[in-house]
Amino acid sequence: MRSFFYFVLFLLIAFVVIILAAILGAVGAWYFAWLVGTTMIVLISAAGGALLDAQEEQTTAAQASGDERRQV
């Protein structure tokens, strides 16, 4: 039954996408590129923030233990 609901959900999404493509026409590719680019910028920024946070935690832990060699 769960597969059926997924099928119906994806069918509705496909229907909406086809209608939007028909309405937008040639401009649709620009909107797609904008959505993909914005998503990538957000994901890369989040990954950079997570890496910075991990580096700060590692530096703090190294200073607390007194080991200067493990600092980044």
pLDDT digits (tens, 9 = 90+) for 13-34: 999 988 988 888 888 888 888 9
Q: Tell me the per-residue pLDDT of 45-55, one tens digit each, with 9 for 90 and over.
A: 999 999 999 99
* Token pair in block for residue 70: 């493990």
Q: How far apart are the first and last CA of the chain?
A: 52
- Mean pLDDT in the chain? 88
- In the chain, where the domains are located: 2-65
Amino acid at 31: Y
What confidence score (pLDDT) does residue 49 get? 96
CA–CA separation, 63 and 72 (whole Å): 11
How big is the CA angle at 36 (ends 5 and 39), to the nearest 5 degrees?
A: 85
